[in-house]
Chains A and B, each alone.
Chain A
Amino acid sequence: MDFSPVRLDTGQQEFLDEVRSFLAEHVTEDVLEEERRTGSGFNERVHLALGAKGWLMPAWPAERGGAGLDPVRARILELEMRRAGVPSITTGTTNLVVKAVEKYAQPDLAAEVLPAVAAGTVRLCLGYTEPDGGSDIAAAKTRAVRDGDEWVINGSKIFTTGAQNCQYTFLITRTDPELPKHRGLTMFLVPLASKGVEIQAIRTYGGERTNIVYYSDVRISDRYRLGGVNDGWTVLRGPLDEEHGYGRGTGAQIGDVSMGSSFLHTLRRAIDGALVWATTPRDDGSRPIDDRMVRYRLGTVAIHMEAGLATQGPMARVKGSEALVRGAAQLVDLVGPLSLLSEGTPGAEVTGIIDYAHRFAQGTATYGGTVEVFRGIIAQHVLGLPRPNYPGSKVLVSRKRDAGKAA
């Protein structure tokens, strides 16, 4: 057990100063305002500037385009980027896919993609969910059919966040509908510039832009295949497990324990806004926080945030999201009509984050696997409860149903 401050040596202190001045120069108010307006989760100028520093893949050695940072420097960079509000969604999806590319891409593709990822010129997004598929990723119906040295892809994927700023999508396709559900899948790194790819924007009330991506007779070379044909589930598991928070330990570490920490960072900022609001005197000199009811509400939200940060494993994904969803709603109630005004509105300088947090919160319960998917994971893998027996857990039910209709 250790919660002490990490003592920085001179070199690390200088690194912190360097990071802060870099971020102050590049993450300007304009960048933040643009992100609030577009919700794209990405800023190309900032991204390329980070890439030039080797800070997109900070732990990679310099010869691979990284900065060779030790864990302390990497954590300093991470915390400072978060504090500065660097738009990070596309960086996040890129990082999830990079490991699968390193492990499964054919050498020439890896040699082409990985240095460009480190430089920032190539970004990667997730092509998992289908419009009528929801959380059951393995039920993918987007088809890839082999044609000589090429594959022809037809189908559509929804919630491909960041596609408009990415060069490739990590696409899960069905290559053999006759095999059991998890075995007929193949993964590709599909160039989004390919003919037949159409990206359409979807807006969320969380302020984010995401996309639906249509694939119509998209032809790609076999070099873009990751892993074996019909072995896509193996390839997908690495990034999926990481997204699901497996492998986060309890040992001596300086990283976030909770995989819900990015959600909780938003809640923390909303609490900070509410605290400033609550401690600001009104005309008669009284402050909202003098009221015990106000303190009770604030305390409740803060407790669940701290509890979320302390929660581990798949439990943390549920707790992080639900603490944010409930906490933000409680802070809206607490602050009243002022909390409905968005950041940038006069009078909402301190509390605008609460309006944002409440809207943003709702998506966190769904993306990356819904909280219900995770309750299932906890039930089976943490508690060892028996797996539910659903008709479609092993085979594609709709395919059978379709076949039945045809007959």
Chain B
Amino acid sequence: MDGSELRYADYSLSSDQEAVRDAFHDFFAKQCPAERVREAEPLGFDEALWQQLADMGGASMGLPERAGGDGASIVDLLLVAEEAGAALAPVPFIEHAAASRALAAAPGAPAGLLADAASGGRILGLAMQPADVQARQLVPGGAVARHVVALAGDSLVVVHADEPPALAPNQGSTPLAWWDLAGGVRQEIAEGPGAVALYRRARAEWKVLTAAALVGLTERALWIAVEFAKTRETMGVPIGSLQGVSFPLADVAIGISGARNLVRRAAWMLENEPLRDRHLVPAAFAYAAEVATHGATTSAHMQGGLGFTIEADASLYFLRAKGWSVLAGDPAEDVIAVADALADALAGGR
């Protein structure tokens, strides 16, 4: 881990990036209050909100221009994911972005499907485990998607169902569903090492975007608890003046600061130097998952019994912290992937 290489360490957003973040922040603040999140339960999908998001370019922005998109990079997409995460927006933004970008990069992508993906009219899911290892699996976004991008051996396929399978009701109220990836209509869109690379890239993008969403989730959960701690009194003082409350909340702020920047750096490297520092994407994901679990738990707990009730908005955040972070499997796999990448870099001399 060479720490003496001279590199820029600029985590700031450009004015264009700030504009993107602000636009989506305002959109979700206006369109997606907590009531709308609750109304979308248990499916975790609000079709009207999805369409509004698509109208803003949310379904297509990450696609290349030839596929009807804006050519936005993963760095730009993470800004949207963070805002969607903060609002707990019931839309399959992340799965759709990762899967449709893989589709657009695949040589055999059906043009019609790509165009429908760009408009948001067809939602794509992403199978998080190789289909030849386990054909029947829980697919994120799978309860609202009729097309799932999956890897089977060294073949990248789109699996099609006439109707999305039934929701598998779950802790995070996300549109999770069982898909049998060996059944249905399978269309190969890429094969060989290129297909495996596309799938790995899609998973890495899903992880970066989910990590960003978890950062947004954690920060909003923190501010809910901070507001509570400022006004709630015990023994004649606001509880937020007590170190037993303020220090745990400070710990959440510490986690958010590092997780947000680590996700940005990981995304930037994935976009610009994907062969280098390959430990960063799994590191950012594992850290964001840890920070979210800790942050959502702490924020709910600092509101005492009230934070344990489903009436409290804190509950929405608590349930999704795990509801989002284990969709691709145990984050410990990411921890191990960090060590693998570091050992590879050591062997390869960088």
Chain A positions near chain B (C-beta within 8 angstroms): 1-6, 8, 72, 75-76, 79-80, 82-83, 249-257, 265, 268, 271-272, 275-276, 278-279, 289, 292, 294-296, 298-300, 302-308, 310-313, 315-316, 318-319, 372, 375-376, 378-380, 382-389
Query: Contact: B230 with A384, CB < 8 Å?
Result: yes
**Inter-chain contact total with CB atoms closer than 8 Å:** 211
The 8 closest A-B pairs by CB, nearest first: A310-B261, A379-B246, A311-B258, A295-B339, A299-B338, A385-B240, A299-B335, A307-B258
Which single member of A76, A289, A383 contacts B6 (CB below 8 Å)?
A: A76
B283 to chain A, nearest CB (A): 5
Which single member of A250, A303, A311 contacts B338 (CB below 8 Å)?
A: A303
Chain B binding surface SS class? helix
Query: Contact: B6 with A254, CB < 8 Å?
Result: yes
Q: Complex: how many Å from CA A265 to CA B3?
A: 8
B20 to chain A, nearest CB (A): 12
Q: Does B48 contact A (CB under 8 A)?
A: no
Q: Complex: how many Å from CA A82 to CA B246?
A: 36
Which residues from chain B contact A253 at a C-beta distance below 8 Å? Answer: 8-10
Q: Does B47 contact A (CB under 8 A)?
A: no
Q: Does B184 contact A (CB under 8 A)?
A: no
Which single member of B240, B257, B335 contacts A386 (CB below 8 Å)?
A: B240
Which residues from chain A contact B229 at a C-beta distance below 8 Å? Answer: 385
**Quick one: closest A residue to B240, CB to CB?**
A385
Q: Classify chain B's interface size.
A: 35 or more
Query: Contact: A6 with B340, CB < 8 Å?
Result: no
A282 to chain B, nearest CB (A): 16
Query: Contact: A300 with B335, CB < 8 Å?
Result: yes
Which single member of B12, B17, B254 contacts A250 (CB below 8 Å)?
A: B12
Which single member of A8, A302, A318 contacts B254 (CB below 8 Å)?
A: A318
Which residues from chain A contact B250 at a C-beta distance below 8 Å? Answer: 315, 318, 375-376, 378-379, 382-383
B239 to chain A, nearest CB (A): 9
**Quick one: closest A residue to B260, CB to CB?**
A310
Which residues from chain B contact A80 at a C-beta distance below 8 Å? Answer: 4
Cβ contacts A to B, 6 pairs, < 8 Å: A302-B339, A318-B254, A375-B250, A379-B246, A379-B247, A384-B226
Known: A251-B10, A254-B9, A372-B247. A307 touches B3 (CB 8 A): no
B192 to chain A, nearest CB (A): 29
Q: Complex: how many Å from CA A147 to CA B120?
A: 82
Query: Contact: B226 with A299, CB < 8 Å?
Result: no
Query: Contact: B339 with A296, CB < 8 Å?
Result: yes
Contact stretch, chosen from B91-99, B125-133, B265-273: B265-273
* Listed residue (B9, B75, B238, B247) with the most chain A CB atoms within 10 angstroms of its CB: B9
A136 to chain B, nearest CB (A): 15
Which residues from chain A contact B237 at a C-beta distance below 8 Å? Answer: 386, 388-389
**Quick one: closest B residue to A310, CB to CB?**
B261
